[in-house]
Amino acid sequence: MTDRLAPLQSLLSTTSVDAFAINPGSMLTYLTGLSFHLNERPVVLLLTADHLPTIIMPEFEKEQLSRVTTSYQVFSYQDNPMTWVNAFQAAVEACGLNGKKIGIDPNQFRYLEMNFLQEAAKCSFQPSGDLFAELRMCKDDQESAAMQKAADIAEAALVETIKVIKADVTEKDIANELTYQLLKCGSDTDLPFQPYVGSGPNGANPHGSVTDRKILPGDFIVIDFGARWQGYCSDITRTFALGSVAPERAHIYEIVKEANQAGREIAKPGIRAGDIDSAARSLIDQAGYAQYFTHRTGHGLGLDIHENPYLFLENDLILKPGMTVTIEPGIYFSGQFGVRIEDDILITPQGSRSFTSFPRELMTL
């Protein structure tokens, strides 16, 4: 983890901030291997160019530091909230941060931590989330191996779950079974998100909620889920049919499958992130269903279920080996049905490979 701290610290010489402040979340875990709950007790990692990494934390959490090899300056506090600012004051004094500018991730850093630092250091803050994202976009071999394992676990769980799908089983029944199978097959207990099962008209909502609706013959069933292994996520969607479906619906399924394939085939180093979206979207557009593909083609994947790079048409970011993305085109007819097929892709020096391999042909249950 020291290897991950050093590049971020070195960026301080090329930015307008004097330090970075990071609170519990995936970035803190990425940099340190430490995992804290984001709760009412603040935890802050301070990184400067000239001091040891500094951490402000509750006294009772200090045992976590025995599991890592990095040396930290530690400023801890007891349970009385009135005394917590003292730890912050000691930390900013040790790091020479009085009146300085501190870089934070605006999507993660809370008012709670900002207020303590502001009171202790009279500092100012600057968004630095893009720098943090840049460090994490290209996965190393250990990270990609963990993501492959997460995909393997998810697919094994799906194989077992589809055995229970039949008429009159509810979406909640399927989602509960899938959650059980994910854990049984080896996922970390902290799933990336709760499995989504959308049947019939509910499948037309890309980010809907699981309901008590019973599965009916002729339904499409959209199942979106993932596993986590050593912190790293998988994110997979497959659409199934219960019994035979109308020919026009089977045709829609084939269009989505072809769009998914088009996105996977074009994925390689040197292309724009937006080119993957274009490849998948243009196929759906040409088939006459542009208005029914209502979201981007995909997103980055790693310690977070959604992270950079994002696959939307205008994104000019150039893909590099080690980047990991989802490719998940869909077509949604409000009040009727939806179809989505999602795979997890690793950009390699030669092109790309898919972590996910569950069949993409329409499977009738």
How confident is the model over 319-343, as pLDDT tens digits? 999 999 999 999 999 999 999 999 9
> Model confidence at 357, in pLDDT bands (50, 70, 90)?
very high
How confident is the model over 74-121, as pLDDT tens digits? 999 999 999 999 999 999 999 999 999 999 999 999 999 999 999 999
How confident is the model over 259-305, as pLDDT tens digits? 999 999 999 999 999 999 999 999 999 999 999 999 999 999 999 99
CATH code given to domain 141-364: 3.90.230.10
- For the entire predicted model, the pTM comes to 0.94
Cα angle 301, 306, 308 (rounded to 5 degrees) comes to 70
Query: What are the residue boundaries of the structural domains of the chain, listed by start?
Result: 2-136, 141-364
- Using the predicted structure, report yes or no on whether residue 60 has a pLDDT greater than 90: yes
* Residues 9/48, Cβ–Cβ less than 8 Å: yes
Query: Which distant-in-sequence residues (6+ apart) come within 8 Å of 328 by Cβ?
Result: 237, 260, 297, 298, 340, 341, 342, 343
Among 316, 319, 356, 328, smallest CA distance to 137 is for 319
Distance CA(237)–CA(160), nearest Å, equals 15
**Going by CATH, does the domain composed of 2-136 fall within 3.40.350.10?**
yes
Which residue is it, tokens 């006459």? 288
